[in-house]
Structure 1
Amino acid sequence: MRLEQLQAYLAIAETGSFQAAARRCGVTQSTISRQIQSLEAELGVSLLHRTAQVKPTVAGDFLLPRARRICQEWKQITQELEDLMLGKQPELCVAAIHSVCSHFLPAILGQFAKRYPEVQLRITALGSDRSLKVLRDGLVDVAVVMNNPLLTTSAEMVVTSLYEEPVEVLMAARHPLSQYGQVPWSAIVQYPQVTFKDGYGMQRLVQNQFQQYGAELKSALELNTLDAFRGVVRQGELIALLPQSALAESRQDSTLAVRPTESPCLTRQVVLVTTADRLKIPPIQHFCELVQRAKLPALAVA
């Protein structure tokens, strides 16, 4: 059964004429006749009384309301898809890591709203791995995360590099490591750490760095908000390795100290990830262009 067969049947049932139905459908009368014959042969029943005034048979009456629903549903689907490709979507959902939500995206929101005021922009702060999962599951349209090639190698993913920034050491103002202008890794590995929870790219990045030094990461506490990191580190001996753009407020806090590491400098790469099909939708395409053109975080290094 094909849609055009149902449309032909519906047109005949509503106009009472093969000729009028052909005009409505924009085809020849012979085409309408063939479509109805094929439909009747497929269903194994006669659908129409072929008299001067064509009328549905009992089977035709049974089919009629269902044909209307199917054709109406198809019309609605095609209209909604057309609206989608014209940018008439109700919302655009973005998942991003916390520091990006705080320091990178706010300037973009107003620009996007000017172009698409009817589209509700929804931004959720999540870890990198979780952000990529909800993107793959179709729950968000865009993810702005730490690069993780293991989760972005599928053919439909489109990955755009945004910026790269160093990872620095956050500590209490009177912490022993504050004596260094650049903290050596041999000293960093001696202290217990406050780390991000599992599923955050920063935890994986720091863990890999410690493994390269043949050291064990002494994770004393796992957190997932920058306020919590500052509050815990401020209390004493624990330190944290955090990206530079996440430390802007900490630099203004006299109870905290921020120090770069000695070479080799650990860096993280922040990327924008979406899918090729989403990039064809105007609001998503515009948002991605705004992100790519945006000014980098003040403390990031390109």
Structure 2
Amino acid sequence: MRLENVKAFLAVAETGSFQKAAKQRSVTQSTISRQIQNLEDSLGTPLFHRSSTAKLTVAGDCFLAHARRIDREWAVAMEEISDLMGGQQTELCVAGIQSVCAYQLPPVLQRFCKEFPQIQLRLTALGSDRALKVLRDGLVDMAIVQNNRLLTSTAEMVIDVLYEEPIQVLMSADHPLTQFEIIPWSQLARYSQVVFKDGYGMQRLVQEQFRLQGESLHAALELNTLEAFRGIVRQGDLITLLPQSALQEFDADDSLAVRPTEEPVIAREVALVTTQDRLEIPPIARFRALVHQMIATPQMVERLSA
């Protein structure tokens, strides 16, 4: 069923004449007749009595309310799509890994809220796997995550790598490993660790590096907040491996110590992920541009613009 046929039906029903309906619709009478015939063929029954005036049949009268509803719904849909593509959306939803939400994103959020005060900005801190799932499910407009090409390699995804950062060791200030300026992997393997919960890219990254070094990772505890990591590690012998951005405030804490690992140093890529169709919407495109401007490193910006 074509919308133009429904509109032709409404015009004939309103005017009571094929000729007047054609004039109202700015088409020929033969076009109106063909459109009504096509609609009647689709429904399998005549909709008008063809006489000096076009009177509705019983089926036509039944269809009239549906046709009006179809026409209204189409008008509403067109208006909403027009508003969306014109930047008139009511909210923008972002999912991000915890360190980005805590340290990198706040200036971006403040700038965006000033530029788009009419848009409700919603930010949710999630592990990378979960953030990408809610993006694929359409629950958020973009995700800022630890890049995982196995989860972002679909054709509709747009991936911008923003920066790369090393993974370092966090421990209590009196931990035995503080004797090392650069901690050997063999020494790391001697101590039990606090790790991110399953579904966080950091856990996989650390486990993979221990495997490559031929060492075993002894995971004593799983957590999912940076404050919890800090609280547990300062209490005793447990250590953890965290990205540099998550450690930036810990340097001022005298109860904690941070050390790099020996080569090979693990690094993680942080990327913004969205879909191509979302970038057609002006506020989403603007948020992406602000992230590039305020978070991405110069090297990554150069790569993105190449």
Answer whether TM exceeds 0.5 for this pair: yes
Give the CA deviation at 1:19.
2.7
Gaps of 5+ in 2: none
Q: Which residue number in structure 1 is paired with residue 2 of structure 2?
A: 2
Summarize the alignment of residues 187-206 of structure 1 with structure 2, pairs less than 5 Å apart.
187-206=187-206
Q: Which residue number in structure 1 is paired with residue 145 of structure 2?
A: 145
Aligned equivalents of 2:126, 2:62: Cα separation in 1: 52
Summarize the alignment of residues 48-59 of structure 1 with structure 2, pairs less than 5 Å apart.
48-59=48-59
Q: Is the 8 A contact 2:100 2:144 kept in 1?
A: yes
Q: Which residue number in structure 1 is paired with residue 14 of structure 2?
A: 14
Deviates more, 1:207-216 or 1:182-191: 182-191
Determine helix, strand or coil for the equivalent of 1:100.
Answer: helix
Q: Is the 8 A contact 1:233 1:240 kept in 2?
A: yes
Moved segments of 4+, more than 6 Å: none
Gaps of 5+ in 1: none
Give the CA deviation at 1:278.
0.9
Aligned equivalents of 1:143, 1:27: Cα separation in 2: 49
Matched, 1:230 2:218: no
Give the CA deviation at 1:41.
2.9
Aligned equivalents of 1:125, 1:42: Cα separation in 2: 51
* Distance change >3 Å, CA 219–CA 284, structure 1 → 2: same
State the Cα deviation string for residues 11-58 of structure 1 (Å, max 9, x = none).
111122223322332322211111112222332322113344432121
Q: Which amino acid aligns with 1:49?
A: H
Determine helix, strand or coil for the equivalent of 1:152.
Answer: coil
* Distance change >3 Å, CA 111–CA 73, structure 1 → 2: same
Give the CA deviation at 1:124.
0.3
Summarize the alignment of residues 140-289 of structure 1 with structure 2, pairs less than 5 Å apart.
140-289=140-289
Q: Which residue number in structure 2 is paired with residue 46 of structure 1?
A: 46
Give the CA deviation at 1:296.
5.3
Deviates more, 1:7-16 or 1:37-46: 37-46
Q: Is the 8 A contact 1:192 1:239 kept in 2?
A: yes
Aligned equivalents of 2:58, 2:229: Cα separation in 1: 73
Q: CA RMSD in A?
A: 1.5
State the Cα deviation string for residues 176-195 of structure 1 (Å, max 9, x = none).
01111111112111110000
Aligned equivalents of 1:211, 1:124: Cα separation in 2: 32
Q: Is the 8 A contact 1:279 1:285 kept in 2?
A: yes
Q: Which residue number in structure 2 is paired with residue 121 of structure 1?
A: 121
Q: Is the 8 A contact 2:162 2:295 kept in 1?
A: no
Q: Is the 8 A contact 2:186 2:215 kept in 1?
A: no
Aligned equivalents of 1:181, 1:24: Cα separation in 2: 84
Determine helix, strand or coil for the equivalent of 1:151.
Answer: coil
Matched, 1:293 2:300: no
Give the CA deviation at 1:248.
1.7
Q: Which amino acid aligns with 1:283?
A: P
Give identity over the alignment, percent.
62
Aligned equivalents of 1:21, 1:123: Cα separation in 2: 52
TM-score normalized with structure 2 length: 0.94
Determine helix, strand or coil for the equivalent of 1:222.
Answer: strand
Q: Is the 8 A contact 1:104 1:296 kept in 2?
A: no
Q: Which residue number in structure 2 is paired with residue 97 of structure 1?
A: 97
Q: Which amino acid aligns with 1:191?
A: Y
Aligned equivalents of 2:9, 2:217: Cα separation in 1: 72
Aligned equivalents of 1:289, 1:23: Cα separation in 2: 49
Aligned equivalents of 1:24, 1:232: Cα separation in 2: 75
Determine helix, strand or coil for the equivalent of 1:190.
Answer: coil
Q: Is the 8 A contact 1:162 1:292 kept in 2?
A: yes
Determine helix, strand or coil for the equivalent of 2:41.
Answer: helix
